[in-house]
Structure 1
Amino acid sequence: MDQRKLRELEQIISRDYSNIAGIVVQQNGITCLEHYFNGYTAGNALHVYSVTKSVFSALIGIAMGKGLIRSVDQKVLDFFPDYVVKAGETTIQNVTIKHLLTMTAPYKYELEPYQEFFASENWMNAALDLLGGDGPIGEFTYSAIVGTHILSGILAQATGQSILEFATEHLFSPLGIQVPHNVVLRSEEEHYAVMNDKNTTGWVVDPQGINTASWGLFLTSGDMAKLGQLYADGGIWNGEQIIPAGWIEESTREHSRWGELSYGYLWWIINEDEQIYAAMGDGGNVIYINAKKKLVVSIASLYVPEVKDRIEFIMTHIEPIFEE
């Protein structure tokens, strides 16, 4: 990469995107740019927030490819036979895996009750208790925590393994990604303490030891770039089909909309015609894939509220540098 352009990019980051900890840009599978900020290095993992959702989408696709989940149209309650549906409740019985993947399931709240959810002794039961209600099925309702956590329970039931074991065996290890252990958070204070801690690695679990699907995964910028490259290459890594190609095609096309924003299976669709999509998490964490240009950008960031739009940053300041 041209050193002058690199210096200009560093200046833009320092001025307008100062919470970025690491950035990796790959084109045609070749690393064109890798740079770190705020004292971080290639070996430091960060909490990637809702980027976890898109990683979890990959795990659902792998499970489907292995026949462990038959269809996205399977009912959610098929995987929770011991869950007792409240009297008079019918909506929850019609919610499918696809509704959770596309954020089109209804919930019994107007504002997501994070504190009540985290304070509960069983997050899975709390999530199921909040699913359904009087809202229509099929209408986009973004659930930052609750809805996607139910997918954790579905995957655990379907595979008979812990989420981390399944992910390590079928996704992380083949890509050389290290997610070494579970992260147990015993209090709100611990929750906030680990979020920008350079030494934290792993994946958060709920009180029953189930890894969280909505958030809680710690990855390096390089890990994120590997996952982006896997998608850009149609699920193939070192000649092995890790994720079914059909799943990648299906999960990165529009299934639902939130205003001007398109949504696939836990992926944001930036431009379907140009095959541009992204995993996005709070604080400005992102895996950006332009499949047509074989361009992958990963950005790992320290959490600060109300960061500037990373997609605009990538499309304005990074993509033009790597135009073919």
Structure 2
Amino acid sequence: MQTTINWQAVKPESIYMNNEKLFKLEQTIKSDYHNINGIIIIKDGHLAYEKYFNGKGPDDSHHVASVTKSVLSALIGIAIDKGYIQSVEEKVIDFFPKYISDADKQKQQITIRHLLTMTVPYPYEDWHEPLDILCQQQDWIKYTLDIMGKNGDLGTFKYSTAGAHLLSAILTQSTGKSARAFANEHLFTPLGMKEIPDYKMNAYGFDDLFGKNVKGWVHDPNGHSTGGWGLTLTTRDMARFGYLYLNKGILDDNRVLSETWICDSTEMNPNNYGYLWWLRQEDGLSTYSAIGDGGNMICCMPKMNMVVAISSEVIMNPRDRWPLMKEYIIPAVINK
């Protein structure tokens, strides 16, 4: 497998692209998917397709929302590879002794693996997490640790952005660096991605955390990079990250992440959710995807040796990207 992405236009004899499907894809985006800013297809290590919309281009960064979670998962894997964290079986409370003096039995059992797989109980209904309350706290870590393990059974899937933020704090406790700084050194730079500057935040309103003022990588009032959202990436950098996983942890002949971590992160299970990656099996095609609000997506298709990156403006209730994948993008890429 090619370990370096060829960013030049792919040779016609190497990969055949169905131009009719691509034309229909672009027309459908313009008519029905107005918030899509960019799409990249990497096939067999080659740039097979790259298109931008809404005046955006390859150098523009986008708030990728919950795609941040999958990047954070990679950072936890790198930290384990390098010995900063022993394993996914380490107990969460062991990283925060100053916060927890008397944890109940269930809270004592929660591990890094539970945070990665979203199988920690919290006192809210699934998909109704009160992020507005989290964002009003002076100490997001204390708030999340206080509610962690309540109202439910350990091992049952419940989506939690606050839980992902705990993983960011665990990374900082283990390495002495924010997730942003650790990523710059051990992930972004080795992949040839843009480094993320340390932007200071003076306000924590909606636009600062989620909206038009988001830049770099958002952090909480105590400097922890947000674990569940807040990262900005170019569409090309989204594709680079996906190709790292597709290529089993190697890019540009550099081992960035262990193959074991990638396999564990993307192994199919009844929850269809790995280590902060969404898993899908449909029509004989297995995929794993980093997915964020607005329809941001990095979809890896091992069987096709293909990565699709879609950058989007974060909006409420965007159209599902999978119909685009199924009806236009996948059929557009045909091996001769």
Residue among 222, 237, 240 paired with 1:223: 237
User: Per-residue displacement from partner, 1:28-55 (whole Å, max 9, x unpaired)?
Assistant: 0101111100111111111000000001
Amino acid at match of 2:332: I
User: Per-residue displacement from partner, 1:288-320 (whole Å, max 9, x unpaired)?
Assistant: 000121110000001221111112321221001
Residue among 143, 150, 161 paired with 1:126: 143
Q: Determine the C-alpha separation between the residues in 2 that align with 1:64 and 1:125.
A: 24
Instruction: Name the counterpart of 1:250.
Output: 264
User: Per-residue displacement from partner, 1:233-267 (whole Å, max 9, x unpaired)?
Assistant: 0010111110100100110013451xxxx000000
Is 1:97 aligned to 2:97, yes or no? no
Is 1:268 aligned to 2:278, yes or no? yes
CA RMSD of aligned residues (A): 1.8
Residue among 314, 319, 325 paired with 1:308: 319
- Segments of 5+ residues of structure 1 without an aligned counterpart are none
Say which SS state the counterpart of residue 195 (structure 1) adopts.
coil
Q: Determine the C-alpha separation between the residues in 1 that align with 2:174 and 2:234.
A: 28
Contact 2:189/2:195 (CA < 8 Å) preserved in 1? no
1:8 to partner: Cα distance? 2.1
1:134 to partner: Cα distance? 3.5
Give aligned pairs, total: 315
Residue among 40, 59, 72 paired with 1:24: 40
Q: Determine the C-alpha separation between the residues in 1 that align with 2:91 and 2:20.
A: 55
**Distance 1:251-1:189 versus aligned 2 partners, 3 A rule:** closer
**Distance 1:242-1:254 versus aligned 2 partners, 3 A rule:** same
Amino acid at match of 1:104: T
Q: Any residues of structure 2 matched to 1:229-248 within 5 Å, and which? A: 229-248=243-262
Runs of 4+ off more than 6 Å: none
Contact 1:109/1:130 (CA < 8 Å) preserved in 2? no
Is 1:117 aligned to 2:144, yes or no? no
Say which SS state the counterpart of residue 60 (structure 1) adopts.
helix
Residue among 281, 299, 302 paired with 2:292: 281
User: Per-residue displacement from partner, 1:209-239 (whole Å, max 9, x unpaired)?
Assistant: 1101100000111010000111110010111
Q: Determine the C-alpha separation between the residues in 2 that align with 1:253 and 1:316.
A: 26
Is 1:50 aligned to 2:61, yes or no? no
Q: Determine the C-alpha separation between the residues in 2 that align with 1:125 and 1:322.
A: 48
- Segments of 5+ residues of structure 2 without an aligned counterpart are 1-16
TM-score, normalised to structure 2's length? 0.89
Instruction: Name the counterpart of 2:80.
Output: 64
Is 1:138 aligned to 2:163, yes or no? no
Q: Determine the C-alpha separation between the residues in 1 that align with 2:322 and 2:21.
A: 19
1:163 to partner: Cα distance? 1.4
Say which SS state the counterpart of residue 138 (structure 2) adopts.
coil
Instruction: Name the counterpart of 1:209.
Output: 223
**Distance 1:256-1:131 versus aligned 2 partners, 3 A rule:** farther
Contact 1:182/1:204 (CA < 8 Å) preserved in 2? no
TM-score, normalised to structure 1's length? 0.92
Contact 1:179/1:219 (CA < 8 Å) preserved in 2? no
**Distance 1:56-1:189 versus aligned 2 partners, 3 A rule:** closer
Q: Determine the C-alpha separation between the residues in 2 that align with 1:20 and 1:94.
A: 42
Q: Determine the C-alpha separation between the residues in 1 that align with 2:162 and 2:253.
A: 36
Say which SS state the counterpart of residue 204 (structure 1) adopts.
coil
Q: Determine the C-alpha separation between the residues in 1 that align with 2:156 and 2:113.
A: 12
Instruction: Name the counterpart of 2:26.
Output: 10
Once the two structures are aligned, what percentage of the paired residues are identical? Answer: 44
Say which SS state the counterpart of residue 182 (structure 1) adopts.
coil
Contact 2:168/2:178 (CA < 8 Å) preserved in 1? no
**Distance 1:256-1:120 versus aligned 2 partners, 3 A rule:** farther
Is 1:150 aligned to 2:166, yes or no? yes
Is 1:290 aligned to 2:301, yes or no? yes
